[in-house]
C-alpha cells in the first residue's frame, strides 16, 4: 500500500494570489538594499557615455589622453576669446562716444580745440572741435542732450535736419572716429576743415523733417 503525504501533492496557486505574493516578497528591505542608488546609476550612465565618447575619438593621436588635452585646450581657447572680445567690444563702444567725462559748453570745446591747435596737437584739436559742433547742435535743441551718442549717430541725426551739410557731417564724423579711436594722427588740414564745418553748421537753418 502506497502512502501519500500532503507535501508530495503539487500546489496550484491562482494567478492573482501568486502576483500578490511576489509583490509582497519584493517589498522585503533586503531587495531594496541590494539595488544601486540613484547616484550610482547616474555615475554608471555618465561613465558609459564618456567611454563611448572616448571610443569615438580614439583616432586622435595620443588616445584618451590626447582627447582630454584637446578638450582642455578648446575650453581655454573659448574662455580667452570670450574675455578678449568682451573687453574689446566694451572698449570700442566707449571709445565711439562723442563725449567723455563732464560735458562742457560748445564754446568751451572750441577754446580747447584752438588751444590744442596752437600747440600743434591736432588730434586733440580735431576731437574737441567735433565735440563743439555736436554740443552746439544740442544747445540749439537740434539734437537732444543724451549720453552715449556716437559720431555717426550725431551726423545722421543732424544731417536729417541740415540736409545741405549731411555729406560734410558724415565726413566730419568719420574724421573724428579715425582720430579718436582709429589711431590715425590728426592733421592741420583736418582741423581746419572741421572748424569751417562748425561755422557752417552754426549758420545753417534747419529743415523740418517731412516738410
List, for residues 108-155, the tens digit of each pLDDT value. 999 999 999 999 999 999 999 999 999 999 999 999 887 788 999 999
Give per-residue pLDDT as tens, 170-187. 999 999 999 988 889 999
- Rounded (5°) CA angle 28-33-35: 105
Q: What pTM was computed for the model?
A: 0.55
Give per-residue pLDDT as tens, 61-115. 555 566 566 566 667 655 554 555 444 444 444 447 887 777 889 999 999 999 9
> What pLDDT does 3 receive?
53
Q: What CA–CA distance (Å, rounded) separates 126 from 178?
A: 10
Residue 55 burial by CB count (10 A; 0-12/13-18/19+): exposed, middle or buried? exposed
Chain-centroid distance, C-alpha 165:
35
Torsion of CA 199, 201, 205, 206, to 10 degrees: -170
> What pLDDT does 201 receive?
95
Amino acid at each position: 500500500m502506497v502512502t501519500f503525504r500532503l507535501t508530495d501533492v503539487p500546489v496550484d496557486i491562482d494567478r492573482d494570489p501568486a502576483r500578490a505574493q511576489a509583490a509582497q516578497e519584493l517589498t522585503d528591505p533586503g531587495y531594496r538594499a541590494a539595488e544601486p542608488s540613484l547616484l550610482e546609476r547616474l555615475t554608471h550612465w555618465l561613465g558609459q557615455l564618456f567611454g563611448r565618447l572616448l571610443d569615438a575619438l580614439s583616432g586622435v593621436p595620443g588616445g584618451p589622453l590626447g582627447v582630454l588635452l584637446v578638450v582642455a585646450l578648446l575650453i581655454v581657447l573659448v574662455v580667452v576669446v570670450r574675455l578678449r572680445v568682451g573687453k574689446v567690444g566694451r572698449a570700442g563702444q566707449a571709445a565711439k562716444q562723442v563725449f567723455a567725462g563732464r560735458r562742457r559748453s560748445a564754446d568751451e570745446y572750441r577754446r580747447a580745440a584752438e588751444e590744442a591747435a596752437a600747440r600743434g596737437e591736432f588730434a586733440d584739436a580735431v576731437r574737441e572741435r567735433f565735440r563743439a559742433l555736436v554740443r552746439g547742435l544740442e544747445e540749439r535743441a537740434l539734437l537732444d542732450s543724451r549720453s552715449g551718442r556716437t559720431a555717426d549717430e550725431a551726423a545722421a541725426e543732424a544731417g536729417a535736419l541740415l540736409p545741405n551739410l549731411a555729406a560734410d557731417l558724415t565726413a566730419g564724423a568719420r574724421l573724428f572716429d579715425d582720430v579718436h579711436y582709429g589711431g590715425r594722427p590728426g592733421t592741420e588740414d583736418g582741423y581746419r576743415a572741421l572748424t569751417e564745418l562748425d561755422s557752417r553748421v552754426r549758420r545753417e537753418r534747419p529743415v523740418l523733417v517731412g516738410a
